[in-house]
Structure 1
Amino acid sequence: MSDVGACEANPEKCFKINAPEYLIDLLLGITAYNALFLVFSSDHVYEGAVDEQPPSFRSTKDSLQQSANGYSETSALYPINVYGQSKKKLERIVRMKCRYHVILRSSVIYGPLLADFFDVNEAITTDTSNLCDKKTESLSKVHSTFLQFLLKELRVHASDLSNQSIGTNQDNLVSNKKVTLFQNEIRNFVCIFDVLKCCKFFVDQFFFQGQLFHEIFNMGGSESCSRVVMAHALCDVFSSDGSYKMDKKKILGMKRSECQESWAKKTPSPSNLKMDCGRLYEKMRYTFLSLSQGLELCKYYMQDQLSSI
């Protein structure tokens, strides 16, 4: 259950789904405690800075605070919303009960749309620099609501231009509908292809190399940025070859505290959740894709479906 607002509105349901101790007990019984539990946590277990204000007193007193590179795996956990609290509980259950485990504190994952297909095996085993030179068969699908939202809201269709009034500036008309994005909430957006590569790495190491894990890793992209920067990068990548027209003027950046919409105030939301993911990169001997590289890869695998968006 990843909708932060829904978690805040229904905490009992959130904890039941996100920290299912009963399910973990069942799986442990089936596997005789010898399985590797690969668990997705969240960067929301960290406190962050709310609206660019200093962290609360309890975490400023803690010696393990966010460094210049972001939160490390040893930073104190002080989630400020129900979603983050449920993930913190999940981590505690897994660490207490599961002999072998890898907990991945993930940032926002982006990737191809629900209708887009790609070859999962190739995506996670092939050198990503060569992926765009190959055409693959459709074997699986991955959905990313944020990427889908940006493409739907920022892309300019022929119908948008045909409906313009004669004699009126097109740029102004196309940009009339603004897309509100928060410019002070920092995350390590991570491409789904890197997430798959990461999961495959730990599974291979456990089952084929005999390596036993009892570890926690931050999992995020190699760059940290706001949703506004993410949207601008998407516009640049998808309009780079002239195939798609994206309208940056629709982007309206602001702080969450400045937004008057009710949906923006449903739950406490940390501003800066920048993470240091160096331990994971070192473990895998692989650095995750930059934002532009990840978006280029998504564009390649989505090109057959973009006409329907």
Structure 2
Amino acid sequence: MDSGEKKRILVVGGSGFLGQHLLHELDTACGKMPPYDVAFAHHRPVPPPELLGSLSLNSRTESDLRSGECFEVISEGEGVPHVIINCAAVSIPRACEVDPAAAMDINVPTSLIDWLSSFRDDSILLIHLSTDQVYEGLKSFYKEEDETAPVNMYGKSKVAAEKFISENCSNFVILRCSIIYGPQTISPVTKSLPIQWINSVLSCGKEVEFFHDEFRCPVYVKDVVSVISTLTKKWLSDGNQMKLVLNVGGPDRLSRAQMAEAVADYRGYDCSLIKPVSASSINRGVASPADISMDVSRLVRLLRINPISFKDGVRFTLENCSWPL
């Protein structure tokens, strides 16, 4: 890779929750070494004006992962990217169950990979966001080499994506993320954010049910951004072949009830409002794995990133909701 060439980064799904946090980080890095040209693709019909007003990015385009038409526009206008970060997905499990065809079409980035493959260029890195729901959920602290056996269409579409990427990309990193939480974005996303939702329902002073027997390793959004930023800098600095799968979760194995308790402790809410119930007592219209907590020791060892505790993440999320943190 030419060390003097200005590095180009493309974020697909840039108007989403993680995408906006990531764009802010990349935009902040512009002008530093190495210099970046950052473009992003978004699914919204009109790019969010609040987001555009906060960034100095030079390119954005509406995306359709089914057709892939936007990618040709990007390469013709900005050149071939050195790093592509794919944050786009149908990430609500029930929505995937209702429309499995759309889940497969969007979550398996066929058009993106076809476009990338057309360059026949080994100097491009794809960083792809996957999920902890690729695991079956029958034990604690899954490792990356454990079998993937998803119980719902969301997980199945993500496993299909991982397989497609590993078979068709020369260089890739697949990030199996747990629940990503953190402050609202500058252009608010419409989906419910976990900490904000818990805070909202507990603030009403009424009893609320939370699952006590589904376990995850929720991860603070800024830690996910740090993982992506570190991988990007590593690739742009040395360009060594990279074929990697990483679990990306926080250090704490928590049930939804324990997550709610952490919010209640920070806000001073009455913990008796939290009513623990079994996940099996409610039909959500989609199967959900019981325990997909993850071992993140590979992440810590390779990138030297130690995700913050859930307790600290709750404080950072609720204490300072301005943009940026």
Instruction: Decide: shared fold, TM above 0.5.
Output: yes
CA contact (8 A) 2:195 2:314 kept: no
Distance 1:10 1:116, change over 3 A: closer
Worse overlay, 144-153 or 17-26: 144-153
Distance 2:294 2:284 in 1: 24
Structure 2's unaligned 5+ residue stretches are 1-89
**1:10 maps to which of 95, 99, 108:** 99
CA contact (8 A) 2:195 2:317 kept: no
**1:145 maps to which of 189, 193, 198:** 193
Distance 1:303 1:23 in 2: 33
Bigger RCO (CA 8 Å, 6+ sep) = 1
Residues 1:202 and 2:234 are matched in the alignment: no
* 1:164-186 superposed Cα distances (whole Å, 9 cap, x missing partner): xxxxxxxxxx32xx322211110
Distance 1:289 1:143, change over 3 A: farther
Q: Which residue of 2 aligns with 1:234?
A: 263
Residues 1:275 and 2:304 are matched in the alignment: no
Q: Which residue of 2 aligns with 1:255?
A: 278
CA contact (8 A) 2:123 2:239 kept: no
Q: Which residue of 2 aligns with 1:87?
A: 158
CA contact (8 A) 1:112 1:144 kept: no
Higher helix share: 1
Largest Rg, 1 or 2: 1
**Alpha-carbon offset, residue 115 of structure 1:** 5.3
Matches within 5 A, 1:1-309: 1-30=90-119, 32-49=121-138, 66=139, 70-114=141-185, 145-156=193-204, 174-175=205-206, 178-239=207-268, 246-259=269-282, 264-302=283-321
* 1:190-221 superposed Cα distances (whole Å, 9 cap, x missing partner): 00010011000100000023343101011100
Higher strand share: 2
Distance 2:105 2:270 in 1: 41
Distance 1:144 1:301 in 2: 18
**Amino acid of the structure 1 residue aligned with 2:199:** L
CA contact (8 A) 2:262 2:311 kept: yes
The 3-state SS of whatever aligns with 2:288 is coil
Q: CA RMSD in A?
A: 2.4
**Alpha-carbon offset, residue 30 of structure 1:** 4.7
The 3-state SS of whatever aligns with 1:302 is coil
Paired residues, what number? 235
Distance 1:275 1:142, change over 3 A: farther
**Amino acid of the structure 2 residue aligned with 1:149:** W
CA contact (8 A) 2:202 2:273 kept: yes
Worse overlay, 107-116 or 286-295: 107-116
CA contact (8 A) 2:96 2:102 kept: yes
**Amino acid of the structure 2 residue aligned with 1:302:** C
Distance 2:170 2:291 in 1: 33
Distance 1:303 1:34, change over 3 A: closer
**Alpha-carbon offset, residue 23 of structure 1:** 2.2
Distance 2:101 2:208 in 1: 32
Distance 1:80 1:294, change over 3 A: same
**Alpha-carbon offset, residue 93 of structure 1:** 0.8
Structure 1's unaligned 5+ residue stretches are 50-65, 118-140, 157-173, 240-245, 305-309
**Alpha-carbon offset, residue 28 of structure 1:** 2.8
Worse overlay, 31-40 or 85-94: 31-40
